[in-house]
Amino acid sequence: MASLEFPKGFLWGAATASYQIEGAVNEGGRGPSVWDTFSHTPGKVQNGDNGDVACDHYHRYPEDIDLMSQVGLQAYRFSIAWPRLLPEGTGEVNQEGIDFYNRLIDALIAKGITPCATLFHWDYPQALHDLGGWTHLDAAKWFGDYAELCFKSFGDRIKFWITHNEPWCYAFLGHGIGEHAPGEKDTELMYKVGHGLILGHGEAVARYRALNQGGKIGITTNHQYFPPENPDSELDRRASDQQNDWMNGWFLDPIYFGDYPEYLKRTYPMPEFTPEQSKLISQPTDFMGLNFYASSKVRYNPKSGNEAEQIDDPSLEHTEMGWMVVPDALRDSLVYSQKKWNPKEIFVTENGCAFKDELTGDRVHDDRRVAFLTEYLKAARASIDEGAKLSGYFVWSFLDNFEWAFGYSKRFGITYVDYVTQQRVLKDSALLYRDIIAANSLEPTLAGR
């Protein structure tokens, strides 16, 4: 029987993002982000939803931290809203924004919860986007200046930093197909934006190393795993490699190897790194942040993108996002990532699911999420036995929240949020997670909640 216990010191946490929960978009000196603009553009977000109020975390963070403490979270991953600190993206610092995050960080530490900060989780300052955004020649410097401000303001207490969250999404969804902010549709542009994001990552890492604050820094990318339908088929294997390169290697190969995968350079209009840039972006990081939600087998099909046709299995359970529930794919992705990029350690920085949850009396019986977390955590534990240097797990999300272009129609939280009253209720999945954290083991799942 596979081990149910996690290694000593394994870090248990939950994650959120600023635009998805904070609200207060016009308070405390905050400037507009591209998501403010996008969500207020008719037809861009389901039901016309926006993040103006969201979960009102800006005002209710003490209550939320109390709930985190009840669950027993050891760590909380949140993102800092760039336009809350620098309303124009650069230049004058907004002290009210600094003060808010100081209060948040201090309140977490007072409850024994380790603060883990993401510098960029998509709420890019509108003022900088208007100047050219991540394609501007000064984009990396802008991000470096902002990162350094964060390090100097909060680095005495935050020792776990993530430069970017899922840059693939910001580049592809935001600039390639236009489903996310800023809503642009330009295939060549998306590779230029991705290039700028990678350079910004390198600049932030360099600034952090120069300050010698003694913490950890890395990047979080969204991993999808695409095994070949027929492992004995050379064409299926090639399709698998090409799809994995485009989905995962686009950002990870430059950061670990200093350049894009050869397949991408042959096939797409990838910008080139100078030798100095290659050295900058591939500075050693302390960990790999791995977000995991989806996986599918692929078969060779020359008419599909990357010659890889993704295969949906209707016999498998699907989440409200339409993603197949395939727990073993998390194990396989962790092991694959360890072998290919050999990070010093890996943290699952997001993993979770959206289902239709309803408040019944004073409880939310989210049985499908309980089952999901149980099976995915088993897979995560199994990856350690297969060589993955997995050091922690952050469930997505601590709160139901604004799910980007889906608005408030999808609930990912282990805490239920009534968006009208702002009532919070810990779901059954949160209570299970509490027991797993306390035991540092999956043994509580055997109780058959």
In the predicted model, is pLDDT for residue 448 greater than 70?
A: no
Average pLDDT of the segment spanning 312-318? 97
Exposure string over 246-275, b if 16+ CB within 10 A, otherwise e: bbbbbbbbbbbebbbbebbeeeeebeebee
Question: In sequence order, which ranges of 156-272 are alpha helices (DSSP H)?
Answer: 167-168, 187-211, 234-244, 250-257, 262-267
**How high is the pLDDT of residue 246?**
98
Q: Which residues are catalytic?
A: 166, 350
Q: What mean pLDDT value characterizes the chain?
A: 97
The Cα–Cα gap between 246 and 362 comes to: 45
Average pLDDT of the segment spanning 15-25? 98
The Cα–Cα gap between 343 and 432 comes to: 30
In the predicted model, is pLDDT for residue 372 greater than 70?
A: yes
Which class would CATH give 11-447? alpha beta
In the predicted model, is pLDDT for residue 130 greater than 80?
A: yes
**How high is the pLDDT of residue 447?**
61
Contacts of 412 (CB under 8 A, 6+ apart): 352, 353, 354, 396, 397, 400, 401, 403
Average pLDDT of the segment spanning 301-312? 97
Scan for tokens 């209710």, then name that residue. 60
Average pLDDT of the segment spanning 268-276? 98
The Cα–Cα gap between 82 and 90 comes to: 9
Average pLDDT of the segment spanning 205-232? 97
Total length of the chain: 449
Average pLDDT of the segment spanning 392-419? 98
In the predicted model, is pLDDT for residue 1 greater than 60?
A: no
Helix axes 187-211, 139-154, angle to 10 degrees: 40
Scan for tokens 């962790």, then name that residue. 334
pLDDT tens digits along 330-360: 999 999 999 999 999 999 999 999 999 999 9
In the predicted model, is pLDDT for residue 329 greater than 60?
A: yes
Extract the tokens encoding 216.
């950890």
- Answer yes or no: are the C-beta atoms of 64 and 413 closer than 8 Å: no
Peptide bond into 275 cis (omega under 30): no
In the predicted model, is pLDDT for residue 449 greater than 50?
A: no
**How high is the pLDDT of residue 319?**
98
